[in-house]
């Protein structure tokens, strides 16, 4: 299992970085649409959709994302710029994660409505896809942000596995601990300092705005991870799918991105 997990991670990471830097934006967006379709299928399964509804959902979500992404693509040539449509999508995502998901997790709502789960799936997936699509305009910046998510996940896993004793949310995800959360915070802080020394010419993440950006990405990533864990717990499954050997499904790999990247894309507009 470990070998399969490691091999899959290496292939995914190498492929993601290569595509990020070398694909034209429209091809990058098209590639992301394939991942979005797979994640939509997995979400529909977790939501309890029938097979015909799963196919419909896996088609409607990428189609609606395409309308937003490709229609406005020509007017957004830099992560410093943001269209009204993009702003609304990011704003809806942030409102959803902060105003709906937080009480959802605190109260452990069991949502069975197919309509509610469909709207939720759209809000989870499309804004993150849009953020990934737009932020490729500055691949170094996007990679730096993804590094926050990956290192937070790695720090939480390693520290939690070694020293985790106090459960963070045992009724939602029994494997997550407060020690793991502290490990994620330390990993992100070390990364922040290392990045400041390695990239003295970068100014977009410095000061209060940069600190808020890094902290927001890390904390929202935890929220996304917990939310997907709760949805899987409601569906009584361990993984969202089996597409990625050793890692489960696509949703299992992007859960932290779904909650953090829309916020990052919006904050970058003001970070400069």
Question: What's the pLDDT score for residue 2?
Answer: 47
**What span, in angstroms and rounded, lies between the C-alpha atoms of 5 and 23?**
26
Would you tell me how many other CB atoms lie within 10 Å of the CB of residue 241? 20
Question: What's the pLDDT score for residue 175?
Answer: 87
| Pair 89, 262: CB distance under 8 Å | yes
The packing angle between helices 51-71 and 114-135, to 10°, is 30
The beta strands (E) that lie in the chain are given as 167-169, 173-177
**What span, in angstroms and rounded, lies between the C-alpha atoms of 158 and 25?**
35
Cα 167-168-170 angle, rounded to 5 deg:
60
C-alpha distances out from residue 30 to 8, 129, 140, 188, 234, Å = 22, 11, 20, 31, 32
Would you tell me how many other CB atoms lie within 10 Å of the CB of residue 8? 16
- Reduce the DSSP state of residue 16 to 3 states and report it: helix
**Alpha-helix residue ranges (DSSP H) falling in 72-113:** 84-95, 102-107
Beta bridge partners of 169: 173
Nearby residues of 236 by Cβ (< 8 Å), 6 or more positions away: none
Question: What's the pLDDT score for residue 69?
Answer: 87
Question: What's the pLDDT score for residue 54?
Answer: 96
Longest dimension (CA), the chain: 53
Taking only the tens of pLDDT, the chain with its 272 residues reads 545 556 666 777 788 888 999 999 999 999 999 999 999 999 999 999 999 999 999 999 999 999 998 876 554 545 556 788 899 999 999 999 999 999 999 999 999 899 999 999 999 999 999 999 999 988 988 998 999 999 998 899 899 989 989 999 988 988 899 999 999 999 998 998 888 777 767 766 666 777 788 888 999 999 999 999 999 999 998 888 666 565 578 998 899 999 999 999 988 876 65
Task: Please compute, for residue 53, the number of CA atoms within 13 A of its CA located in the half-sphere on the CB side.
Answer: 12
Number of domains in the chain: 1
Residue 18: domain span: 2-271
| Pair 213, 205: CB distance under 8 Å | yes
Question: Which H or E run contains 5?
Answer: helix 2-22
Question: What's the pLDDT score for residue 271?
Answer: 61
Of 24, 57, 27, give the one whose Cα is nearest residue 42: 57
């Amino acid at each position: 299992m470990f070998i399969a997990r490691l091999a899959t991670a290496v292939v995914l990471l190498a492929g993601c970085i290569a595509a990020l830097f070398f694909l034209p934006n429209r091809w990058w967006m098209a590639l992301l649409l394939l991942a979005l379709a797979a994640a939509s299928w997995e979400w529909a399964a977790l939501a309890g959709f029938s097979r015909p509804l799963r196919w419909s959902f896996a088609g409607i979500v990428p189609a609606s994302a395409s309308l937003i992404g490709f229609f406005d693509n020509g007017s957004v040539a830099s992560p410093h710029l943001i269209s009204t449509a993009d702003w609304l999508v990011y704003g809806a995502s942030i409102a959803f994660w902060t105003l709906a998901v937080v009480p959802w997790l605190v109260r452990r709502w069991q949502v069975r409505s197919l309509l509610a789960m469909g709207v939720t799936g759209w809000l989870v997936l499309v804004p993150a896809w849009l953020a990934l699509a737009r932020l490729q305009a500055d691949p170094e910046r996007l990679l730096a942000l993804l590094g926050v998510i990956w290192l937070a996940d790695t720090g939480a896993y390693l520290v939690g596995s070694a020293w985790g004793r106090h459960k963070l949310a045992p009724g939602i995800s029994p494997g997550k601990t407060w020690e793991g959360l502290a490990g994620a915070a330390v990993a992100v802080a070390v990364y922040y300092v290392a990045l400041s020394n390695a990239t003295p010419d970068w100014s977009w993440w410095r000061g209060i705005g940069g600190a808020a950006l890094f902290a927001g990405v890390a904390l929202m990533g935890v929220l996304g991870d917990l939310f997907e864990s709760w949805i899987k717990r409601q569906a009584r499954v361990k993984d969202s799918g089996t597409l990625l050997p050793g890692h489960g499904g696509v949703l299992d790999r992007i859960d932290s991105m779904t909650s953090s990247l829309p916020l990052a894309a919006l904050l970058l507009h003001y970070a400069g």
